[in-house]
Amino acid sequence: MIERTTLYIGGRWLTPSSSGTLQVTDSNTGDLYATIPAGSEADVNAAVSAARAAFPRWSRTSSADRARFLQKVSDGLLNRSNELARLIATEVGTPLKACSLVQVAAPVNSWAYYSKLSQEFGYEARVGNSLVVREPVGVVAAITPWNYPLNQITQKIAPALASGCTVVLKPSEIAPLNAFVLAEVIHEAGLPPGVFNLVTGLGSLVGEALAAHPEVDMVSFTGSTRAGKRVSRVGSETIKRVSLELGGKSASIVLEDADLEKAVKATVSHCYLNSGQTCAAWTRMLVPRARLDHVRGLARQTADSFVVGSAFAEDVKLGPLASAAQRDRVLSYIRLGLEEGAELVAGGPEAPAGTGGGGYFVRPTVFVADHRSTIAREEIFGPVLTIIPYDSEDDAVSIANDTIYGLSGAVWAGTDERALGVARQLRTGQVDINGGRWNPLAPFGGYKQSGQGRENGIYGLEEFLEYKAIQLRA
């Protein structure tokens, strides 16, 4: 078992102010896997003070010097890639092969990308008789989720440090071990003390204290919409900048002239990525009513092809959920769907065959339901797809937009031109057309209650910068 007993504050590994601990379980077995410190408000205060003290020097460090530090972090994470993949596969349940590519390689590349971008970005521009300067916002509190733990940490920490901000990180207590590895890598890279700080603990205590802290200039939060509302309310008391990446209930619209087999297979696979623990997952598939029977069969066939089991098994495509609480939440939605009269196409609430008594496993599930049903409106965050029939293209767009969320989506059509025309009508932050691939340089974030602000690429860097206008004598 792994025991982490210290927090990283002011460039040192320090004993927490209290002796409380939190347990981390192995999502594949349900067994105790690790313990971590349960940080307190006193630990938050110490970390924020260290970040505040480090900010003047770090914000004035040249972009070239900051870039060298970030590249060292990328190299250090690369050297520990295998260890990180196994940690995250255990914490989250992502199958090991996918974990190496999505959960580890992507953040390693992002650190290298922000190293390069920090040197190329235009921090100053002449506008008339003004010099417009982009400056770091200050001390950033980064509060991150458990579903893509290292990647979400990276999408906040790397651009924040590249911009000249200092950081206090509060990772999810469900998947925190990768954050300790990152702290070790950052320490070995030689970042000045206080530039990066790590405090683990409960969101209701550590996250709350960070959001409320008067010396924190910005909170960057990824998590549930419910928790994001709380962060926004608390942060507003000190008028700090708040960036939120929250929930989703994204629609994949399949038009009548689309390649049906390709569209259905891709939508089911996208929904089940990371066992459905993906905020941008296409969890609603909108199909022409006349094609429903065909779609139903294709969706069942695809869902049944997903082998469920341990993240470390060779042929597994669907690992466990990250926690018992998340498994129980997903199962409750599956049962609710049945109670509300949805048609069960595949899966169901029973335990998957061959998974034994341990681990947080859920069968890959597909329903056909009305768009007003609970399972078609609320974020489930598990391997549950809802097929929704529609009667016209306008009807499909209306159903897709009839949600409090607006994070992602897809359109499938006979031509890209037609798909693009529909995509422009969707109130959502990202739309893939006809299988367009993920672009890590494009802005990622949502409309409506899916959040505010953007991550990825240059857009992620700009989130951590303020404008200053210096009027010059003509």
Catalytic residue numbers read 245, 279
Neighbouring CB atoms inside 10 A of 329's CB total 15
CB 89 within 8 A of CB 101: no
Count of CA atoms in the C-beta half-sphere (13 A) of 305:
10
Q: What is the DSSP letter of 308?
A: B
| CA 95 – CA 90 distance, rounded (Å) | 9
Helix H, strand E, coil C: the string for 402-417 is CCCCCCCEEEECCCHH
| CA 306 – CA 302 distance, rounded (Å) | 7
Strands of the sheet containing 130-136, edge to edge, are 124-127, 130-136, 465-471
| CA 132 – CA 138 distance, rounded (Å) | 18
Least Cα distance to 206 among 350, 369, 45, 338 occurs for: 45
CA-to-CA separations, 362 to 96, 148, 195, 277, 345, in angstroms, rounded: 18, 19, 41, 12, 15
The sign of the CA dihedral 200, 204, 206, 208 is positive
| Position 146, amino acid | W
**Which residues have a Cβ under 8 Å from the Cβ of 45 and sit 6 or more positions away?**
209, 213
Q: What is the DSSP letter of 342?
A: P
Regarding beta strands 241-245 and 218-222, do their DSSP bridges make them parallel or antiparallel, or are they unpaired? parallel
